[in-house]
Amino acid sequence: MPSVVANHPLTFQELLFALQRFWSEHGCVLQQPYDLEVGAGTMSPDTFLRVLGPEPIHIAYAQPSRRPADGRYGENPNRLFRHTQLQVILKPPPENVQDLYLQSLEAIGIDLAQHDIKFEEDNWEWPVGGAWGVGWQVMLDGQEITQFTYFQQCGGMDLDPISGEITYGLERIAQFLQDLDSIYDIVWLRDPASGRELTYGQVRLYEEQQFSAYSFDYADIPSLWQHLNLYEAECKALLERAGTTLDEKKLAASENPRGDRLAALRFPTLGAYELALKCSHAFNLLDARGAISVTERVGVMARIRNLIVGVARIYAEQQRLNRAFEAPTPAQPELEPAR
């Protein structure tokens, strides 16, 4: 049956499929988006925590990323409160990682002979996560379409092996492929039977309008401060308990090694991380509401940094102890790096 969608550039969802298929075929675990508010795919535990420690992992996932201050009530054709990143983590990065990336562009219909591609220096840093890396912004005909980073540090800890991170900005790429001035005109879906098109605006505009209004006008400032304080307090309490539960000496000298090691294995580091993420999002909302003065800003960011870096530390320690005591490891897909 001849398809009515032939000769069209990829729709938004076809773009997502194509990239996911590509990386799946190169040995990546396809993970679902993390179901919590994050500002970037990097903040998902599938990146931020998995890059720690020695276990190789190749993983890819789409991550809706919320940045309350970037909302424009749906009126700016190029800025979004929530955009979608396709995040790929390759640990360690295969030698031909740049070639793989270029092949992934071919896989979404970009014929490099017909375009101008440049890798321009762009180093990435997330001070709140004690994380940084070096890399490039990938420019295609003057448009930044990807952030390509070699992670060097995370949670203030040196990484070994390092991870390669490829972050595709899906809206930008779709806009590029479909040659559009506005994100909202991106064809999200083209019905294969009828050829009927549904645009990004039809699918998402109301979200942009409402969440911009919420972030800028409605979000209740005292409540947000309360949220932040509550999440912080619980996260801190967990971090403190981690100190005793994950104490190597105590575990070694334990009279109930099975029980204590199981307790160490089950210690909810991931739960603590979610609480830290909640704090981060509350901070972003407060920031968008203009509720954080410059003097306060540094202090609040330091509080969140303590949580996030603290979680990274106990995560690394927990993983190390698990390996040391040869306890059953948590579901951590271990794959040979793709070649």
Find the binding residues for another protein in span 6-25 (CB under 8 A). none
- Residue 178 in tokens: 């479909």
Please, which residue, 74 or 310, has the CB nearer to another protein?
74
114 binds another protein (CB under 8 A): yes
323 binds another protein (CB under 8 A): no
Cα-based distances in Å from 179 to 84, 114, 174, 250: 18, 14, 8, 61
Strands 57-66 and 29-30: parallel
Please, which residue, 146 or 269, has the CB nearer to another protein?
146
Cα-based distances in Å from 83 to 62, 105, 159, 204, 298: 10, 20, 28, 10, 26
* Binding piece for another protein, criterion CB under 8 A, among 197-205, 270-278, 293-301, 320-328: 293-301
- Residue 32 in tokens: 């679902």
Among 3, 21, 30, 117, the residue binding another protein under the rule CB under 8 A is 117
* Binding piece for another protein, criterion CB under 8 A, among 119-127, 195-203, 252-260, 299-307: 119-127
Please, which residue, 158 or 255, has the CB nearer to another protein?
158
Please, which residue, 13 or 143, has the CB nearer to another protein?
143
Find the binding residues for another protein in span 160-199 (CB under 8 A). 160-162, 176, 179, 181
Please, which residue, 113 or 193, has the CB nearer to another protein?
113
314 binds another protein (CB under 8 A): no
Shortest separation between residue 69's beta carbon and another protein, angstroms:
11
113 binds another protein (CB under 8 A): yes
* Binding piece for another protein, criterion CB under 8 A, among 73-81, 277-285, 301-309, 323-331: 73-81
Please, which residue, 143 or 306, has the CB nearer to another protein?
143
77 binds another protein (CB under 8 A): yes
User: What's the residue count for the chain?
Assistant: 339
Among 30, 112, 221, 253, the residue binding another protein under the rule CB under 8 A is 112
User: Residue 335, class by beta-carbon neighbours within 10 Å (0-12 exposed, 13-18 middle, 19+ buried)?
Assistant: middle
141 binds another protein (CB under 8 A): yes
Among 294, 334, 336, 339, the residue binding another protein under the rule CB under 8 A is 294
Cα-based distances in Å from 116 to 82, 111, 194, 229: 28, 10, 35, 49
Give the C-alpha separation, 309 to 323, whole Å: 21
- Residue 261 in tokens: 């090691």
**Of the candidates 339, 272, 332, which has an alpha carbon nearest to the alpha carbon of residue 59?**
332
Provide the terminal-to-terminal Cα distance of the chain, rounded to the nearest Å. 37
143 binds another protein (CB under 8 A): yes
Residue ranges in 82-179 assigned as alpha helix (H): 97-107, 170-178
73 binds another protein (CB under 8 A): no
**Of the candidates 197, 275, 189, 277, which has an alpha carbon nearest to the alpha carbon of residue 238?**
275
Shortest separation between residue 127's beta carbon and another protein, angstroms:
16
263 contacts 245 by C-beta, under 8 angstroms: yes
For binding to another protein (CB under 8 A), which residues are involved? 76-78, 92-93, 95, 98-99, 102, 112-121, 123, 133-134, 136, 140-143, 150, 152, 158, 160-162, 176, 179, 181, 293-295
